[in-house]
Amino acid sequence: MEILKKYQVRGAPGEVRRTNFHDRTVDFWAPPRPTPYLLVTHDGQNIFDKATSTRHRTWELAGAANKVAEEFGTTPPVIIAVFHSSGPSDPYGRGKDLAPQDVFTDGVEPVVNHSGIWPTPTPTYPLSELRGNQYLNQIAHSIIPSICEYVGHELVPAQTAILGASMGGLAALNGMARYPEIFETALSFSPHWTVGREPLVQRLMSALPRAGQHTIWMSRGTKSHDAKYGPFQELANSYAVAAGYRYGSDLATPIFNRTTHNERSWSSYVNQALRFWISQSN
């Protein structure tokens, strides 16, 4: 594995490293001491590096993870930040990567007059171009094993989480549904339910593993896109409870008032999601 770039971020010792997996950029950071924790994130361009971030604002995730780990008296996680594939040659690559592929190709109609997978007012590519399955397969079978070997990390599913926001929030839930043997925790921020509404909620939540070994965090704000998620999130919560997940144990669905749909808001409470994850897997 070739390292293309190294750089430092505030609040975390050592360096973030950048590599490439078949034209997909991946950044990763590992603590100086061995850790049982692994956190895989979508929209990796927004995790560490302001130069690649969408709005010149990152999640400041490494710093938050180090602070939370110190609170618990444990080591912070290895963090793998997987970039989406949008670019000049494929401007809608993010949606193709992050959309739950099987949900939409098996009958759920996307809401194309709402920003999400496709720009308004009409889609610019067919459903057959969705590649969420390939994307998650690459993470599970190529990116994770290669980086774990490089940093000397032994995968512990009970202490491995997948994180994303908006379409990435859907991809986090879908990642746990497709690879429950790898990801026992899904941290889903502002899942973009409005792109498929009730049928999307029903199909995706029904695909998740039943409670027992797994843990789910689903959060939302109250402004911008998040203001529209309420009824769909309540439905998603009800499916989780029906599958045996319990508030205060392996399920959290907080609402953050006056927060919106961007990295500034998500970074403001990512420490709470990390506390939930580590407290349940410690």
Q: Show the domain range for 70.
A: 5-281
Q: Would you call 233 helix, strand, or coil by DSSP?
A: helix
Nearest to 12 by CA among 261, 136, 39, 134: 39
pTM surpassing 0.85? yes
Angle between helix axes 167-178 and 197-207 (nearest 10 degrees) is: 30
Nearest to 42 by CA among 56, 26, 31: 26
Q: How many domains does the chain have?
A: 1
Element (H, E) at 169: helix 167-178
pLDDT for 54? 86
Structure tokens belonging to residue 261: 């749909």
Residue 125 contacts residue 86 (beta carbons within 8 Å): no
pLDDT, mean of residues 25-39: 97
For 89-114, b/e burial (b = at least 16 CB within 10 A) is eeebbbbbbbbbbbbbeeebebbbeb
C-alpha–C-alpha distance, residues 177 and 211, integer Å: 12
pLDDT, mean of residues 184-202: 96
pLDDT digits (tens, 9 = 90+) for 51-94: 999 888 999 999 999 999 999 999 999 999 999 998 888 888 99
CATH number for the domain that contains residue 190: 3.40.50.1820
pLDDT for 117? 46
pLDDT for 113? 54
C-alpha–C-alpha distance, residues 180 and 195, integer Å: 24
pLDDT digits (tens, 9 = 90+) for 95-143: 999 999 999 999 998 886 544 444 444 446 788 999 999 999 999 999 9
pLDDT for 250? 97
Q: Is the pLDDT of residue 37 over 80?
A: yes
- Cβ burial, residue 129 (10 Å; 0-12/13-18/19+): middle
